Structure 1
Amino acid sequence: MRTLITISWILIFLSIVVHCQEWNGDPAVCQPDPNPSNIPPGIYPTFPTKAQFALEILQVGTVEGLGVHTVQHMMFEYFYDYDANSLVLVKNMNNIIDAEHYHYSILKKAAYYARSFCNVTTIETNVPMDGTSAIFVNGQPHIRPLHEFLLFSSNNLAEPTIQPKYIGEDIVRGIPVHKWETCILDRVNQRTTRREWSFARSDYLMPTGQITTSTPVQALINSSKSINGTHVAEIDEIFNVISYKPGITERSDLFSPPRGIFCSGYGDDTLFSLEEQGIIWSNRFSVRIDAITSRQALWHTFHLRMETTRESKMMRIDYKPLGDDFETIILDYTHGIKYIIDRRVGSCTITQGLDFQSLDIVKNPIEFFIKYEQYIISNDPKNKIYQFNGLRPCRGGAIECVIVTTSFENFPELPETEETWDATNAEWAWSQRNPMSPPPPCQTPPCTKRFDYPVHLLLKLFKRTGGEGPGFRTEDVEYYFYEYNGDVHGNEFDTSLCYRSNDLKYAHLVYNLKVSRKENEIEDAQLDRRDLMRNVHYQTATQMNIRPSRISHLEIDHDEQDQTIYVMFTLLDKTPLINDPNELNIDQARKQLESAINDNKLTFGIQLLDNDKYNITVNAIKNSLVESKTYISSHSRLKATEKIKYSKHSIAGAILGGILVGIVIGGVLLIIVKFMRKEPLPSVPQVTRSITSPFASVSFSRNPAAQPTTKTETDA
């Protein structure tokens, strides 16, 4: 019985194969013409290697027997580049924009649905009815030439030949055109397709101007589908070619994938590390960051500083929490200590551990940045987890950025449900301060030019909902970076305020240094004062065998008369909450420094900026380490007051000069009064008589009756 069934299936299959071999298309649609008419000279279309154009597509489908009619109106935009072996297709269907990126060299197509999700599939090869399918050129997969891409003509030996037939001239959309007809038979799928292409006449000036290649205007397509020779469906389409250009207009936003999308389907072979692209954070930097989320219209601003050395890692954040005062958070990653400083009242809270409570990133983007800094900044630059997403204009097109993305699964947390987001895509945009500068020197070529300016970070979060609608939830969080620079110093991570507010020990110390020569080298323009500060800071901490962060408020001054350098600083006690027996306390550290100064161990050299000059050597003066109060009370220079003395001649000259200036000003005022009142100036005797003593009416007599009485004419 089983043998009979097998024989029956073989007979059915052979009958279908024979029937398919006998199928010669749908004569109601078209029949291939083995001897097309002669083509007039000079009108056969020519095609460029690059083209940008849009297709307005009207599609009408009919299914026989079921009475089903479908009508679709779509808009496709193509960016075709034969030399780059790539194609970008942007689709607009029902106001939903999808994008497809074809990478023919690896036979991968990335489809971005609604510009939010990515699906990677394989590009098929040698499909005669699909112009986007790949062909092989010299054994390598390649995009088709444009005439094959449009299914206008084909001489590919691996596919049926497509030979256009000239059918005359016509007017299409008001444009005089030459018309061509092709008939394509897909014997495998029993599909017959007739295409009628219209190309603008070469003597007609198109809106794009005079070009050397042909301009397609329209394509009318009739296609029928048969099953076992029976006609079952028909599709009619109209392709209106709009804005055809034999080249590609530079629009980087269209050639780059949508923002915040990571395509995992490309495989791990396409991933790279940040170090390979020359994207590396500086060991010390300062940057101002603005954050915004898709759930809030309020911008969140904070200032971030970081310093990473071999011995320590420090981070400082200045910001204003919602509904609270300005705060400064200093994180000591080396010892796991967190300092939270209230800038309004000057209080400080010291806690052990760097972790923060679970929080919602959409509501607290700043706290999220602080908590997960290791994912954002300190991620190992050698990890190959990033994907190159091309170039894109940033900041309104003023900056061109390189775009790299990665993805984190089950991250971050959702506090309201005690769950996590299913995935978070992180997109970085980096740029260069000086794109024309040469790459920096490196030890292992090839050298990669460094991207030295972060522009923005976009976090796109995904969560499956399982309910109605699209079945997922997305949120966006964006960070914009401004004023990124490496001008960061150790005193910006100062925690001395926390020592004072928490009654921890500290001491103000002073000691003196001297230079190797008597010349005024300290005021020399070739001396880098910051380098001097760094050397003093480092050498002081080294001699005390403590961390540099325990030296606070370091100040340097000098006396021009004897070239003495005054070093004043605050020495902090042991790291709070850490009972490390190997760490010296404040008294032990001070004794270490005093011994180093007295034994002439605190000495170092400074290289001047002018390489033609010599170096200078700086040494600590013996027995100069004291507390700052003792130093100021005993040191004459810091108590000195400046006295200014004037000679007798300068005093007399100042008096005479003042009198002369008064006379001149008085004369000017009299002249001004004359012109304002329009009266003549009084004579000199009148002026002198009018000047009377203000004490004329004041009597110094004890007897008022003894004063003479003056009568006026009225009294008489």
Structure 2
Amino acid sequence: MTQMPPTNVVTTSSRPVGFLSGIRVGPTKPTLPNTFTARVECNLLDLNRSTDVIEYYDFPHNRGAIYQTEKGMTGQIVYNYDTNELFIVDRTATKSCVVDELTEDNNDFLFGYKQVNQSTRIFSPSAALRFGGKIVEKYLGKSLVRGIVVEGWQSCSYWPDMDATSKVTWYFSDASEWTEAIGGDRLPVRCEIVGKSYNSDGGSKSYHHIYEFTHFRPYIDANPDHVFEAPKGMYCENRKSLKALPISPQYFHFEAEIVVPQTKIVSYIAEWYDYTSRLVRYDYSPFPSDSKGVGLGRITEIHDFNTGVKYVTNTAFGNCTVGVIDPNGFDTVEVNPHTVRLRNPNQFFDLDGTFQYEGVHRTSRVDCDGWVSKKKSFPPVMNETVTEWLLTTGDWMVGAGNDYQKGVPKKLKISSTDGSGLQYVYNIFNYRHSEPAVWDYNIRDCFRDAQTRHLQFLLDASYRTVLMKVYRQKFEYALYQAIRIQAVISPVRVTDLQVDYNEQGIEVTFTLLDVAPITGDVQQGSMETPLDVAAENLFSQIRSGQFVVTVPHKPNDLKLKAKPDSGKTLKVREWLNNPIPRRAKGYRPGDMAAVALVMLIVGAVIGCGIVIMIYRKNGGSFFPKPYQAEKFDLPPQDPK
């Protein structure tokens, strides 16, 4: 960048003899504002070259920035004195960003720095512009510059770093004879520097620079969140991250619109993640080219990491395809060539990597905190990408699930760094991290009736009392976990859970499914519990009075015990009298009253981590890899 004069200007006593003689007594010199924006055309006459510069100076907030365009390329330097960082950004050629320590870099020539009480401060306005303050200047009188009536002041300075002596002339508009567009006081119009520098071998070089101030405003005339920061979505080497990414929750659900601008493709996906139960679910509609083996229509895919088995159901036809979990999926970590495990919440999207906080964004008129990271082979089809997460700021609350949340994911952008322009944009909505609903991971269609047991028991508790303390969904999730733990089975084998009540207590009815139809690809401590053994495990715990459902609640958890004589197996006819629960369409008056109460109780739950399926090993498809004919396939059941 073209350098302004260095900051270590020697005092008047070192100036050439005769400069002070004949100084005219002129008007008071203009007062420089402590915040300004200046657009300057820099004409370097000795080099036959021009360059354009925009300066943003903010003394109250201890920061500065310059943008320079020269030979068709634009660079940016941001001075952050509070963090002692100097951002050097190439905005056109390499689109790169590097951060140096401000006090150690030689690019401090424009705004300078000084130590004040062990902190680093930007130069005062007069020191930054090399005008006024302690600098002795001679009044030149009035003249015309670019047709504008101006007043001139001249100084002579010696700069040791360049071994140079310069004559510096400033011209300010004359407020008594010229009215600026914004009115007010005198504004800078031109600065002219003429001088000569000497090198170590005795040679010299003359220079002549004219700086035309074509625009000057005593304020920052752009968005400070943009001009004093590196471009959004740009990863800066060595940048200090001033805010950590929030910790990802153990379970969550979201929906996303996936946009690929380069290929003009828009698709949609819904995803559920439950690290506690080791389950993941994806709902999507494959493109015709991706539908081999599963058919067209809405697809539900459930990954059970307790067994290493995946269940893919075409919801239009009811057919279910079963296979092992893909070791190259984004929800998997390959333990060895034959086994996989579920990624933890942060690993799911490589959120445990190095992310830099990049300030506040605004997307869909919502303020969001942004974090950016550079990653290798993420997604696997790309060599290197920049990943950018946007989460709502702490002063925005988002209704989700059974609560209001802060720090909710709004957008994910993944951009290739190879110059191809390839980018994936995920617009996220309907995010929640409340307890999963009991029907979220239903694989009932993948089993025949002979592979099921319908069971029932009673909890010795008042249904009304329970629901006065916790949401129904939280209660049902705790019940669901208790059944699978005490039956010693994978949680996905508990399905069709129903809760009702009578004068004897809370009636619980559900279906147990048989073991997985195939052997999966996870490390298992023991073989899966057979269906009849799992049912007996459960009844044994009930008969002995040891079946207890623990529902999280503050200040004390709720402990609900099953009645010892209540466990029984239902016949098919009895089961048919207990319809499978479905989501209700619309609200009853009691539901609306509950919703109104919830709207008044606003929580401050911070959620962050979210999982979106970016890439499936299918030639870069967004959707899961089609299943081949050799996979275990169950036909839809005949209605009876």
Same topology, TM > 0.5: yes
Distance in 2 between residues matched to 1:616 and 1:476, nearest whole Å: 50
Q: 1:59 Cα deviation (Å)?
A: 3.4
- Cα root mean square deviation, aligned: 4.2
Contact kept? 2:90, 2:97, Cα under 8 Å: yes
- Tell me if 1:584 matches 2:569: no
Task: Report the residue type matching 1:475 in the other structure.
Answer: L
Q: Deviations over 1:344-371 (max 9, x none)?
A: 333333332332389xxxxxxxxxxxx9
Tell me the residue number matched to 1:690: none
Distance in 1 between residues matched to 2:190 and 2:437, nearest whole Å: 69
Contact kept? 2:438, 2:480, Cα under 8 Å: no
Tell me the residue number matched to 1:57: 42
Task: Report the residue type matching 2:426 in the other structure.
Answer: Y
What secondary structure, in the 3-state scheme, does the structure 1 residue paired with 2:510 have?
Answer: strand
Q: 1:552 Cα deviation (Å)?
A: 0.7
Tell me the residue number matched to 1:574: 515
Distance in 2 between residues matched to 1:353 and 1:545, nearest whole Å: 22
- Judged with a 3 Å threshold, the aligned counterparts in structure 2 of structure 1 residues 572 and 137 are, in CA distance, closer, same or farther, namely same
Tell me the residue number matched to 1:686: none
Return 5+ residue gaps in structure 2 as ranges.
1-12, 331-340, 399-404, 579-640
Task: Report the residue type matching 2:209 in the other structure.
Answer: D
Contact kept? 2:164, 2:198, Cα under 8 Å: yes
Q: Larger % of helix: which? A: 1
- Tell me if 1:329 matches 2:301: yes
The equivalent position to 1:378 in structure 2, one of 345, 348, 355, is: 348
Structure showing greater relative contact order (alpha-carbon pairs closer than 8 Å, 6 or more residues apart): 2
Contact kept? 2:26, 2:141, Cα under 8 Å: no
Distance in 1 between residues matched to 2:395 and 2:211, nearest whole Å: 50
- Tell me if 1:338 matches 2:317: no
Contact kept? 1:223, 1:236, Cα under 8 Å: no
Contact kept? 1:285, 1:306, Cα under 8 Å: yes
- Tell me if 1:206 matches 2:206: no
- Tell me if 1:134 matches 2:113: yes
Distance in 2 between residues matched to 1:138 and 1:608, nearest whole Å: 50
Task: Report the residue type matching 1:344 in the other structure.
Answer: A
Task: Report the residue type matching 2:180 in the other structure.
Answer: M
Task: Report the residue type matching 1:622 in the other structure.
Answer: D
- Tell me if 1:280 matches 2:250: no
What secondary structure, in the 3-state scheme, does the structure 2 residue paired with 1:620 have?
Answer: coil
Tell me the residue number matched to 1:355: 327
Q: What is the correspondence of 1:285-300 to structure 2 with a 5 Å cutoff? A: 285-300=252-267
What secondary structure, in the 3-state scheme, does the structure 1 residue paired with 2:375 have?
Answer: strand
What secondary structure, in the 3-state scheme, does the structure 2 residue paired with 1:295 have?
Answer: coil
**Number of residue equivalences:** 535
Tell me the residue number matched to 1:391: 360
Contact kept? 1:288, 1:481, Cα under 8 Å: yes
Distance in 2 between residues matched to 1:330 and 1:151, nearest whole Å: 68
Contact kept? 1:127, 1:133, Cα under 8 Å: no
Tell me the residue number matched to 2:57: 80
Distance in 1 between residues matched to 2:108 and 2:472, nearest whole Å: 74
Q: 1:531 Cα deviation (Å)?
A: 4.0
The equivalent position to 1:218 in structure 2, one of 190, 199, 210, is: 190
Structure number with larger C-alpha Rg = 1
Task: Report the residue type matching 2:275 in the other structure.
Answer: T
What secondary structure, in the 3-state scheme, does the structure 2 residue paired with 1:594 have?
Answer: helix
Range 196-205 or range 589-598, more displaced: 196-205
The equivalent position to 2:481 in structure 1, one of 535, 538, 541, is: 538
Q: 1:173 Cα deviation (Å)?
A: 4.6
Q: 1:139 Cα deviation (Å)?
A: 5.8
Q: Deviations over 1:112-168 (max 9, x none)?
A: 11262113345577989933443444565432212121122565xxxxxx4322111
Tell me the residue number matched to 2:417: 462
Tell me the residue number matched to 1:305: 272
The equivalent position to 1:40 in structure 2, one of 26, 49, 53, is: 26
Task: Report the residue type matching 1:178 in the other structure.
Answer: E
Distance in 1 between residues matched to 2:250 and 2:420, nearest whole Å: 37
Contact kept? 2:385, 2:415, Cα under 8 Å: yes
Distance in 1 between residues matched to 2:431 and 2:271, nearest whole Å: 10
Contact kept? 1:56, 1:75, Cα under 8 Å: yes
Task: Report the residue type matching 1:386 in the other structure.
Answer: F
Distance in 2 between residues matched to 1:632 and 1:107, nearest whole Å: 70
Distance in 1 between residues matched to 2:552 and 2:101, nearest whole Å: 61
What secondary structure, in the 3-state scheme, does the structure 1 residue paired with 2:131 have?
Answer: coil
What secondary structure, in the 3-state scheme, does the structure 1 residue paired with 2:265 have?
Answer: coil
Tell me the residue number matched to 2:494: 551
Q: Deviations over 1:302-332 (max 9, x none)?
A: 11221222xx332222122222323222223
Distance in 2 between residues matched to 1:571 and 1:333, nearest whole Å: 18
Contact kept? 1:314, 1:493, Cα under 8 Å: no
Distance in 2 between residues matched to 1:617 and 1:455, nearest whole Å: 38
Q: What is the correspondence of 1:400-419 to structure 2 with a 5 Å cutoff? A: 400-409=367-376, 411-414=378-381
What secondary structure, in the 3-state scheme, does the structure 2 residue paired with 1:61 have?
Answer: coil
Q: Percent identity?
A: 17
Distance in 2 between residues matched to 1:235 and 1:505, nearest whole Å: 94
- Judged with a 3 Å threshold, the aligned counterparts in structure 2 of structure 1 residues 483 and 386 are, in CA distance, closer, same or farther, namely same
Q: 1:588 Cα deviation (Å)?
A: 0.2
Q: 1:89 Cα deviation (Å)?
A: 1.5
Distance in 2 between residues matched to 1:127 and 1:532, nearest whole Å: 63
Tell me the residue number matched to 1:103: 80
Distance in 1 between residues matched to 2:486 and 2:343, nearest whole Å: 33
- Judged with a 3 Å threshold, the aligned counterparts in structure 2 of structure 1 residues 547 and 245 are, in CA distance, closer, same or farther, namely same
Q: Deviations over 1:269-303 (max 9, x none)?
A: x357xxx6362222222112222235222222211
Q: 1:406 Cα deviation (Å)?
A: 1.9
Return 5+ residue gaps in structure 1 as ranges.
1-23, 63-69, 156-161, 359-370, 415-419, 438-449, 464-471, 636-716
Q: 1:532 Cα deviation (Å)?
A: 3.8
- Tell me if 1:478 matches 2:425: yes
